[in-house]
Chains A and B, each alone.
Chain A
């Protein structure tokens, strides 16, 4: 009996080993993809990095004919768009997360969550078109004249050209693109609060607001930080919607209504012209290196924060769009 099975056992073991071997080839593919993207970006940005050094980060001039390249303008634009977008998105998504987890009637919760997930799935080019045909006319017609009339003395709110395009238009649209990320992570973090502690507070006569303020938020604030960090990472890399809305002029904006340029918009607009000159192309790849490093650092931090709260399980709103 045992002898008879020996052959079969060997065959099975052989098959099992083959299976494992094939799967490890696949896993090697994953590692290879990661190494490829990092290596390509580092390899092709090396000429620019070695020529301009760290001063690349704060040189303002970007002059292809003279071969002087500096990223300061684009870094400033990127961070302005990202930070203003987060200023809009954080209160909004905290409100959404709290509403969905604490206040929303049970029978509507599933449906409302799906709406927020659909927002995450809308492609970024459609957000861009929506911004061009809806947000920009609205800013031009209603918002900018109002600010011009009442707030023209405040430095960051000065309206120089009443055209609608600019940092604010891009920020509003990017804000809606990061809202689902932060909102869904906030919701998951609030859902991870033990129900018994909430019920205890409610039984003591606390209102829902007291429960949120004194029980839920202190328990889940780390998760919310993690969500905000991941949202930051997404907003920094946002490309197509920003290209359509920011105005694409290489100046450091002095006001939120001004036009500007972000790193990703610059790459999308000029990279394919740049490849004729090696140092120009290399400078563009150095811009991509900045984006890559920001995204890697931000995601490592955000992942570590979230690991402790919701077990590092990314919800499906992390992907989608583009």
Chain B
């Protein structure tokens, strides 16, 4: 290779890699700008979390005391005096009824999807399940109205009641529990299950003695996330339960309606009364407290189970 050719090659390389300082500087500045924009996006996205908590606390704090939680609403307009006991009790009713439907159904289906079934059928069921997660809550509400609440035509004729609303919420909760239970069982190391099966255990024995124990944390997480999801639902309650300022006398028929925190906030914020707006914010603090408590409980459980797996 002559020297001339060699020089030409170096020039070409110089064209491909223009190593000069201003170019590098410009690149670095662009990178900084991108960093700033990404961080700014995160700050804007995280802002509502803090501002929602802050604004709810700053308005609602003077109503937050034991009385607010332990008395029924009274006064005129109703709620101007008293607290939100009806809503807390009502939420308890709804969560228990919904869980009675969704927990066995969801856990059972999740176990089936990860243990049994042909690949093709399972993928169809999985598809239906994930589609149900995407269905808007108003549509669930209308379905709940026609199945449980309506007094005419087909259906169970429960009236606007805790049972109707609870079962509708159970329908919303089931696909979530199913999906997360399946994921929890799939996360168990295959060697555990295969080890049990290789020892001659049937699937029932393997489930009873290995899978349920190993996936316990994941299944708890699934149930808590389901409860977290239904505790904030308002739209289905508009069609199946509405609201009750007192205590329910039963779970069906007239007098079967219960109060609900989300409904209470929704109704109070509609009223043209400043004191009710403040009480709505105070009730939001209580609802947010429940939501965050469930959230933290869920994270603790999954964190602990991960730690236990690491130790094993």
- Give the interface of A toward B (CB within 8 A): 12-13, 15-16, 18-20, 22-27, 29-31, 33-34, 36-37, 40-41, 44, 91-96, 98-100, 102-104, 112, 114-116, 118-119, 121-130, 132-134, 176, 179-180, 183, 207-210, 212, 230, 233-234, 236-240, 244, 264, 267-268, 271-272, 275, 284-285, 288, 291-292, 295-296, 298-300, 303, 313-314, 316, 318-322
Tell me which residues across on chain B come within 8 A of A264, comparing CB atoms.
136, 138, 235
Known: A121-B228, A129-B280, A275-B150. A96 touches B41 (CB 8 A): yes
Could you tell me the distance in whole angstroms from the C-beta of B211 to the nearest C-beta in chain A?
12
Tell me which residues across on chain A come within 8 A of B204, comparing CB atoms.
12, 15-16, 18-19
Known: A118-B295, A125-B262. A37 touches B52 (CB 8 A): no
What is the CA–CA distance of A130 and B265 in the complex, to the nearest angstrom? Answer: 11
Describe A's contact surface by its main secondary structure: helix
Tell me which residues across on chain A come within 8 A of B137, comparing CB atoms.
237, 239, 322
What is the CA–CA distance of A2 and B178 in the complex, to the nearest angstrom? Answer: 40
Say which residue of A104, A112, A133, A207 sits within 8 Å of B59 (CB atoms).
Answer: A133
Tell me which residues across on chain B come within 8 A of A208, comparing CB atoms.
31, 34-35
Extra contacts, 12 of them, besides A20-B203, A292-B139 (Cβ < 8 A), are A13-B202, A23-B115, A30-B128, A34-B128, A95-B45, A112-B42, A119-B49, A129-B281, A288-B139, A291-B139, A316-B180, A322-B235
Query: Quick check: B207 and A103 within 8 Å, CB to CB?
Result: no
Say which residue of B113, B233, B284 sits within 8 Å of A126 (CB atoms).
Answer: B284
Query: Quick check: A239 and B34 within 8 Å, CB to CB?
Result: no
What is the CA–CA distance of A129 and B288 in the complex, to the nearest angstrom? Answer: 13
- Give the interface of B toward A (CB within 8 A): 27-28, 30-31, 34-35, 37-42, 44-46, 48-49, 51-52, 55-56, 59, 104-105, 108-109, 111-113, 115-117, 125, 127-143, 145-147, 150, 171-172, 174-176, 178-180, 183, 202-205, 207, 225-226, 228-235, 238-239, 242, 262, 265-266, 269-270, 277, 280-281, 284, 287-288, 291-292, 295, 299
What is the CA–CA distance of A201 and B25 in the complex, to the nearest angstrom? Answer: 18
21 contacts between A and B (CB under 8 A): A15-B204, A27-B117, A30-B178, A114-B299, A121-B291, A123-B234, A129-B265, A129-B269, A130-B55, A132-B269, A180-B45, A209-B31, A237-B134, A239-B136, A240-B262, A264-B138, A271-B239, A295-B134, A298-B134, A319-B133, A322-B262
Query: Quick check: A130 and B139 within 8 Å, CB to CB?
Result: no
Could you tell me the distance in whole angstroms from the C-beta of A306 to the nearest C-beta in chain B?
10
What is the CA–CA distance of A50 and B131 in the complex, to the nearest angstrom? Answer: 26
What is the CA–CA distance of A22 and B111 in the complex, to the nearest angstrom? Answer: 11
Known: A116-B45, A298-B134, A303-B130. A123 touches B231 (CB 8 A): yes
Could you tell me the distance in whole angstroms from the C-beta of B164 to the nearest C-beta in chain A?
13
Tell me which residues across on chain B come within 8 A of A119, comparing CB atoms.
45-46, 48-49
Among residues of A, the one whose C-beta sits closest to the C-beta of B235 is: A239
Could you tell me the distance in whole angstroms from the C-beta of A155 to the nearest C-beta in chain B?
27
Say which residue of A124, A183, A207, A240 sits within 8 Å of B30 (CB atoms).
Answer: A207
Could you tell me the distance in whole angstroms from the C-beta of B88 to the nearest C-beta in chain A?
15
Tell me which residues across on chain A come within 8 A of B41, comparing CB atoms.
91-96, 98-99
Tell me which residues across on chain B come within 8 A of A41, comparing CB atoms.
139, 142-143
Say which residue of B49, B111, B234 sits within 8 Å of A115 (CB atoms).
Answer: B49
Query: Quick check: B232 and A207 within 8 Å, CB to CB?
Result: no
What is the CA–CA distance of A233 and B245 in the complex, to the nearest angstrom? Answer: 34
Could you tell me the distance in whole angstroms from the C-beta of B64 to the nearest C-beta in chain A?
15
Could you tell me the distance in whole angstroms from the C-beta of A3 to the nearest C-beta in chain B?
17
What is the CA–CA distance of A295 and B174 in the complex, to the nearest angstrom? Answer: 18
Among residues of A, the one whose C-beta sits closest to the C-beta of B41 is: A95
B139, B174, B269 — most chain A CB neighbours (10 Å): B139
What is the CA–CA distance of A88 and B168 in the complex, to the nearest angstrom? Answer: 33
Query: Quick check: A27 and B131 within 8 Å, CB to CB?
Result: no
Could you tell me the distance in whole angstroms from the C-beta of A205 to the nearest C-beta in chain B?
8
Tell me which residues across on chain B come within 8 A of A91, comparing CB atoms.
41
What is the CA–CA distance of A122 and B56 in the complex, to the nearest angstrom? Answer: 13
Known: A207-B28, A288-B138. A130 touches B34 (CB 8 A): no
Query: Quick check: A291 and B145 within 8 Å, CB to CB?
Result: no
Could you tell me the distance in whole angstroms from the C-beta of B237 to the nearest C-beta in chain A?
10
Known: A30-B174, A123-B287, A288-B138. A314 touches B179 (CB 8 A): yes
